[in-house]
């Protein structure tokens, strides 16, 4: 696996054009990963996902969703890795220790382990436990174990979070060094620090001295961290990370474009080969939220988004999807997820194109309008 930075500070922005390549697959950035739980993308089966265009070739799977089921014993017995087990053998997997979809229970983390919450309750996971599990999953990437705290955690607790996370990282590296089967899986260091600038910078500087492939920026998805705090902390954190290595951030929130614009060198991105018309860019950069349960859509025979080229907008109407939703038909969720995923992928494609064509400021104006 390798990462190449193509352009730095293009168009006066804080983004970079680059590419993450592993095998024959390439992840263009800034981009997104496909989130799943227990190997399942919400509402979408693997065969449906395969029909979608330009889907990133790597699946983001949080540890909590797979540590119990399928679990270590089943995956070890299967022997072909997690991607094959969950039906995505043509894609790769990224395993994260953190998961922002549930409530953060950081107070249960300890000096030698973190607590992962599954359907049956609390499971303690040490760095060695985690590394053994990752070993049988055979992911392309995996995050080091981390003790993430919210922005409002005390100074003492935040410092302890950074100390623990660095110790967990060292133990993950030690295990990886002793086991050749993990050499094909790239380790990303978790950068912590809560809402404290000094601890953010200390975590970044210390993590940068370790032999890791990239860095994940943790804690920015916390409900306790407001937007202005995020925009203050991100550049002060990333300026201490090597420019030649990739960064990944979990649950940055919405709107993503502001995070890309206001965080210094946060995201690495690749040049876009395709040529988009300005109309296509306008449609993807500007949007509004639709509540298709509302009665006003029962005779609305227009597509979800006028001009959208996704399968849903090309073949179905708002009225039809409204009918599916109010009758609790499973197809309603499938169609909405298909459309939203298409739009989100196109959103990042427009960002890459605007950077390439030196039109980043114009794209921001469209989005903020």
End-to-end CA distance of the chain: 39
- For residues 260 and 161, membership in a common domain is answered with yes
- 172 annotated to bind ligand: no
Q: Does position 21 have pLDDT exceeding 50, yes or no? A: yes
Query: Measuring CA to CA, which residue among 57, 6, 63 is closest to residue 31?
Result: 57
To the question of whether residue 308 is assigned a binding role by annotation, the answer is: yes
Tell me which residue of 12, 62, 54, 15 sits closest to 270, measured CA to CA: 15
Task: Tell me the pLDDT tens digit for each residue of 55-97.
Answer: 899 899 999 999 999 999 999 999 999 999 998 877 889 999 9
> Domain of 261?
2-269
From CA 20, how far away is CA 4, in angstroms rounded?
7
284 and 250 inside one domain? no
> What Rg value do the Cα atoms of the chain yield, rounded?
21
| Judgement on whether residues 229 and 300 belong to the same structural domain of the protein | no
345 and 211 in a single domain? The answer is no
339 is in an annotated binding site: yes
Structure confidence by residue, pLDDT tens digits, 336-368: 999 999 988 998 898 888 888 888 778 777 776
Tell me the pLDDT of the chain averaged across its residues: 85
Work out the pLDDT band at 186, boundaries 50, 70, 90.
very high
Same structural domain, 297 and 150: no
Let me know: does 34 contact 60? Beta carbons within 8 Å: yes
Tokens of 187: 């380790």
Q: Which of 228, 245, 269 is the last residue of a domain?
A: 269
Rounded distance between C-alpha atoms, residue 184 and residue 122, angstroms: 30
Q: Is 313 annotated as a binding residue?
A: yes
Total domain count, the chain: 2
Average of per-residue pLDDT across 205-234: 88
Examine the domain organization and report whether 203 and 311 are in the same domain: no
Q: Which of 247, 269, 291 is the last residue of a domain?
A: 269
Are residue 68 and residue 214 in the same domain, yes or no? yes
């Amino acid at each position: 696996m390798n990462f190449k930075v193509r352009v730095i500070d293009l168009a006066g922005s804080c983004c970079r054009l680059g590419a993450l390549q592993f095998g024959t697959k390439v992840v263009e950035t800034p981009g997104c990963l496909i989130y799943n739980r227990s190997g399942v993308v919400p509402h979408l089966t693997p065969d449906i996902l395969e029909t979608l265009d330009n889907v990133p070739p790597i699946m983001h799977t949080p540890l909590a969703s797979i540590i119990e089921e399928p679990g270590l014993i089943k995956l070890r017995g299967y022997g072909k890795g997690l991607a094959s087990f969950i039906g995505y053998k043509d894609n790769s997997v990224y395993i994260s220790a953190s998961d922002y979809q549930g409530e953060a229970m950081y107070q249960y983390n300890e000096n030698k382990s973190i607590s992962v919450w599954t359907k049956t309750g609390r499971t303690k996971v040490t760095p060695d436990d985690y590394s053994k599990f990752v070993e049988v999953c055979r992911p392309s990437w995996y995050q080091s174990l981390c003790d993430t705290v919210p922005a409002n955690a005390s100074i003492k607790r935040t410092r302890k979070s950074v100390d623990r996370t660095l110790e967990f990282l060292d133990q993950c590296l030690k295990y990886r060094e002793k086991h050749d089967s993990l050499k094909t899986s790239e380790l990303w260091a978790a950068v912590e620090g809560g809402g404290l600038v000094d601890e953010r910078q200390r975590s970044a500087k210390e993590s940068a001295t370790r032999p890791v492939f990239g860095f994940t920026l943790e804690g920015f998805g916390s409900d306790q961290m407001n937007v202005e705090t995020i925009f203050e902390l991100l550049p002060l954190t990333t300026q201490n990370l090597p420019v030649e290595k990739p960064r990944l951030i979990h649950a940055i929130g919405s709107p993503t474009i502001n995070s890309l614009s206001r965080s210094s060198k946060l995201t690495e991105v690749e040049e876009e080969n395709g040529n988009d018309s300005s109309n296509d860019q306008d449609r993807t950069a500007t949007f509004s939220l639709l509540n298709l349960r509302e009665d006003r859509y029962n005779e609305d025979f227009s597509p979800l988004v006028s001009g959208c080229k996704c399968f849903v907008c090309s073949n179905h109407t708002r009225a039809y999807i409204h009918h599916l939703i109010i009758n609790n038909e499973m197809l309603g969720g499938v169609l909405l997820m298909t459309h939203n995923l298409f739009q989100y992928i196109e959103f990042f494609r427009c960002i890459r194109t605007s950077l390439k064509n030196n039109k980043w400021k114009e794209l921001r104006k469209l989005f903020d309008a």
